[in-house]
A and B are shown apart, each in its own frame.
Chain A
Amino acid sequence: MSFAGDITVAVTFTEFTQPEFWISVGLIAGIYTLVALGLQLNTGFTGIVNFGQAAFMAIGAYAMAILVVDVGITFWLALPLAILITMGFGVLIGLPALRLRADYFAIATIAMAEVVRVVAQNARGLTGGNQGFACAADDPTNCYFSTWRDVSGSINEFVESTFWSDPPSYFPLFLVVWVAVIIATVGMTYLQGSPWGRVLRAIREDEDAARALGKNTLRFKLQSLAISALLGSLGGAFLALNLSTIHPLVFEPLVTFFAFSVLILGGLANYKGVAFGAILFWFVLEGTRFIELPDPPFTETRIAALRLAITGMLLIGLMAFRPQGMFGKREEMVLGE
């Protein structure tokens, strides 16, 4: 290593003292919490491995945007409608795919997510394709985020006049997302504690046993997938509101696997762990931005790759020492097989 002696690694800690850093990490972590809560329901509690969460996010985002800009209905109606559309889509996909064995279902969901993304890239009339989607072609004031920006502005005016003179523009979205995260986490925990949730766990353990006891397992799995679609589409819509353009690349399969990393960090079969997993994951991924290495040899692209590598090593380390994640139950992992 000829250059080994010359390397100076520096991490600037000043960024970590800025509230903007924490709020932007918190915002993206909150969105991924919603998305991963759906995966928790599917994978952690129903035993169906859903690799297509990015598709639900994409449909939620695009449906909301199209309903606002092209159909012209109000944002407040468009958002719940977009969620309903995504849930319906989830059921349509689930009807044939949930009859497959768990591993084939997982493959089918990846395919579904890619089909959705490729359609979004090519159905240019509907989604704007690779140009992205934001506003009506003939009216630059008619954008999918217009209503939200107005509301967001009023919230920030209120914040400025009360406790914080200089909030970042995404502070209101951060607040809304975390309210949604709390409601979703409490709600999912409540559902899981019900007899309905018990049937889901039975399906995770052994679907035949559940069927032998009179449970229509397909119905429960469809409900599980539909609720996951609800959470995914809500996350997708929030993600879109945080951007100024919806682009197909936002919904790459990588997004789903980030959400799975969040899930594993937080721990399987535990809803409250998801938020902690998301914060840890995004803190590491964003925090590693501030590692300063000499250029050359560490060019910007190399450092970007290095950040992912560090995050990956963190995951591997956690799996080695704490396979159940931060909040998962070890018994439920060990006894699973």
Chain B
Amino acid sequence: MASERSGAASSASRPGAAEAKASTNGALLDVDGLFKHFGGIQAVAGATFDVAPGSITALIGPNGAGKTTLFNVITGFYRGDRGSVRFDGRDVFGQPPYEIARHGMVRTFQITKSLAAMPVIDNMTLAAPQQPGERLRNVLLAPARVRSNEREVHEQAMELLEIFNLTKLADAYAGTLSGGQRKLLELSRALMARPKLLLLDEPMAGINPTLGARLLDHMQRLRKEEGVTFLFIEHDMEVVMNHSDRVVVMAEGKVIAGGEPREVRKDQRVIDAYLGAGVGSPGGGRRKK
């Protein structure tokens, strides 16, 4: 099971370990002693935690704790200074974002990156992995193969849109969608990429409670039916306490606590971190703009 470990107890990463599909402790994502600085600011200062397969893990912490930076380093958008990131048995530290996404670790962004001037359906079909039609050689020399694959991808996309109640908007430009619809689109688009682990950066921010509840239902269902693992940054403590089975708490670039939601809630270090940052207790149900 996932557990919060001290930085010293680093997982021995054996490059030759052939059987290692998951790392030694069975985690899907194993982050160890990760550092990232910007000039004189240490944004991530030795973060160590892991994410168990099939879990919904929440990443919480006061503003400026380094959560989004941590996401960016894990997914390759920032180059970390040092540390290790193992995903699904692979060392992915320092790999480019597109490689990491291809391994099955797919992220969304705090500010949704719906591709505004593209129709919803193109947003979806874009995300399908390993498309033969993305190679010019196939487009020119194997058009039949490209077309048949495109039909399959289109079908999958429509199925997902159906699930997320976006079917009617399939041909609308993504830029015409409401904020909440964009969040749903980004989630369903990420699912098109067939992720093993989905990293969601504040999926509930800026959407109405009804839509938020639906999004959470989707997460639970995807976990159960498709075996997708979730790691998500969230500020709404109610959501964190009720919908996650593991919580990782960050403060000042470090992971200061981890465990089940109930334990974490009582953890003195967590309470101190939130009080120290002057934003109230973690039970406060605060939402970041």
Contact = CB atoms under 8 A, between A and B. Distances in A.
Contact of A211 (B97, B108, B116): B97
Most buried by A among B75, B117, B131, B189: B117
B133 A213 contact: no
B4 interface: no
A70 interface: no
Contacts of B64: none
Interface in A300-337: 331-337
A199 B134 contact: yes
A335 B126 contact: no
Interface stretch (B54-62, B98-106, B256-264): B98-106
Contacts of B146: 194-195
Given A201-B118, A213-B126, A208 B113 contact: yes
Interface string A16-27: 000000000000
Contact of A212 (B107, B131, B132, B153): B107
Contacts of B22: none
Given A194-B133, A195-B146, A195-B150, A213 B101 contact: yes
A216 B98 contact: yes
A191 interface: yes
Contact of B98 (A196, A211, A223, A336): A211
B115 A209 contact: yes
Interface in B86-127: 96-98, 101-102, 106-109, 113-118, 122, 125-127
B139 A191 contact: yes
Given A195-B131, A201-B122, A213-B189, A208 B109 contact: yes
Interface in A206-225: 206, 208-217, 223
A266 to B, nearest CB: 18
Contacts of A223: 136
A335 B176 CA distance: 8
B73 to A, nearest CB: 14
Contacts, number: 102
A209 B129 CA distance: 14
B175 interface: yes
Interface residues of B, number: 40
A53 B263 CA distance: 63
A169 B126 CA distance: 49
A198 B122 contact: yes
A198 B77 contact: no
Contact of B116 (A191, A196, A213, A336): A336
Contact of B126 (A202, A331, A333): A202
Which of A194, A195, A199, A214: most chain B Cβ within 10 A?
Answer: A214
Contacts of A201: 115, 117-118, 122
Interface in A161-216: 190-191, 194-196, 198-199, 201-202, 204-206, 208-216
B274 interface: no
Interface in B59-79: 75, 77
Give the most central of A195, A196, A337: most B CB within 10 Å. Answer: A195
9 contacts: A195-B132, A201-B122, A202-B126, A204-B117, A205-B118, A211-B96, A211-B101, A213-B189, A215-B134
Given A191-B136, A333-B117, 14 more contacts: A194-B133, A195-B146, A196-B136, A196-B139, A201-B115, A202-B126, A205-B115, A209-B109, A213-B190, A214-B193, A215-B98, A331-B173, A331-B175, A332-B173
Interface of B: 75, 77, 96-98, 101-102, 106-109, 113-118, 122, 125-127, 129, 131-136, 139, 146, 149-150, 153, 173-176, 189-190, 193
